[in-house]
Structure 1
């Protein structure tokens, strides 16, 4: 039976370490949301996602504290802490990043950025989003586009509105209440041609959740679009059949406006009298 030699095991470890280092030093942009003083929420979520993807979030939460300088792990900690610091500073605009160059740890940078740039109450953002939601209707949007717009705004609202519940049950109940209100908002903003499916859903007890309601409405929209397309094709087919049988209406001369059918003008007076009933 074959066994792994010490050298092959060592090669695997080196290869794994090299791969990890390449991932951490890749030239992919850290975030598309550079901290500019006005976008702390977007920046913090984006950079946190990046740092967690590198498994280095302990350096900004404080879970990875600096070891004693005499320990064998100190040098590695310094290197990784500085790497996270560079990620944070490079994800800021130049004028803001300069203010953090003299900091000693990634956690200090993270905490100071939060204290300096975050709007703890987020009042203005919440008012703005609530105003957009209040006025939003389906209009010219498809059901899917309308639903996606709503859910994007609701996610932003959830990010700004942070509630610390004393009881898990209270938090769960609050989410159910919010979900129900959002189902009503989605349904009430639909166009008139979806009144029937809206009434059906609102009559269901218990009320479906948001995604179930969206799925039902989207299917109804697809059904209506399919029927409308079939109806239009049928009308076009009937029109084409009539044109083939009788010819275009515009090519037939009429009596109105002084136009006289050539056949009518060449006919005898008696024939014209009999034919008059046809043309009238």
Structure 2
């Protein structure tokens, strides 16, 4: 099994980690040397595809049979799992909107559940270039989390909810 897992030097020169992303081309080397380089490159590329396949869930690893190079597989994975998925955001926000504390659920358990959903939303937030903007956005996001949390608490916490909303500064939702 270890032969299927790329070694560190293979990863460093692989088509997805700083190594040559495209098929090696002929330079001043002989045809035999080029053929050996192509064979090595192809072998490493397919070992990486196998590694991707063996370390992913079934619904994802079924896709790897369609790729000729590790770079193609990597680019597809990067595009699919790093892009903002509006449908996913909608689903998470819908869950948050519908979420209410159960009668038997502790506040800690309820907050943990909401925090998990908030953490999923963080993955779709834009990258910020200015630290001042980041700080302002984090304050705004934390306030929105606090409001969502307070809105979803059971009715018996109404007086606590009102007390918290009139406090300055507002407590952190974390």
Give CA-to-partner distance per residue, 1:243-278, whole Å, 9 cap, x none: xxxxxxxxxxxxxxxxxxxxxxxxxxxxxxxxxxxx
Preserved CA contact (<8 Å) 1:179 1:209 = yes
Q: Which residue of 2 aligns with 1:157?
A: 121
Structure number with bigger Rg = 1
Q: Which of 93, 99, 108 in structure 1 is aligned with 2:66?
A: 99
Q: When the two structures are superposed, what TM-score results if normalisation uses the length of structure 1?
A: 0.44
Alpha-carbon distance between aligned partners in 2 of 1:57 and 1:89, rounded to the nearest angstrom:
19
1:86 aligns with 2:50: yes
Unaligned runs of 5+ in 2: none
Shift of 1:65: 4.3
Structure 1, unpaired ranges of 5+:
1-20, 26-50, 212-280
Matched, 1:171 2:134: yes
Deviations 1:149-206 (CA, angstroms, capped at 9, x unpaired): 21111111122x2313342211221121011110111122111222343333323211
Within the alignment, does 1:62 sit opposite 2:17 as a pair? Answer: yes
Q: In 2 relative to 1, CA 195–82 (structure 1 residues): closer, same or farther, beyond 3 Å?
A: same
Residues 1:113 and 2:77 aligned together: yes
Give the Cα separation in 2 of the matches to 1:114 and 1:189.
Answer: 35
Count the aligned residue pairs. Answer: 152
Paired residue for 1:208? 171
TM-fit CA distance, 1:134? 1.3
Distance change >3 Å, CA 87–CA 188, structure 1 → 2: same
* CA gap 1:81/1:136 in 2 versus in 1, 3 angstroms: same
Is the 2:64–2:73 contact (alpha carbons within 8 Å) kept by the matching residues of 1? no
- Match of 2:170, SS state, is coil
List per-residue Cα deviations over 1:61-116 (Å, max 9, x = no partner): 533448x998xxx899887655433221332546422112x22xx3332103344x
CA distance in 1, matches of 2:159, 2:101: 16
Report which structure shows greater RCO (CA 8 Å, sep ≥6).
Answer: 2
Distance verdict in 2 for CA 1:80–1:175, change over 3 Å: farther
Length-normalised TM-score, structure 2: 0.66
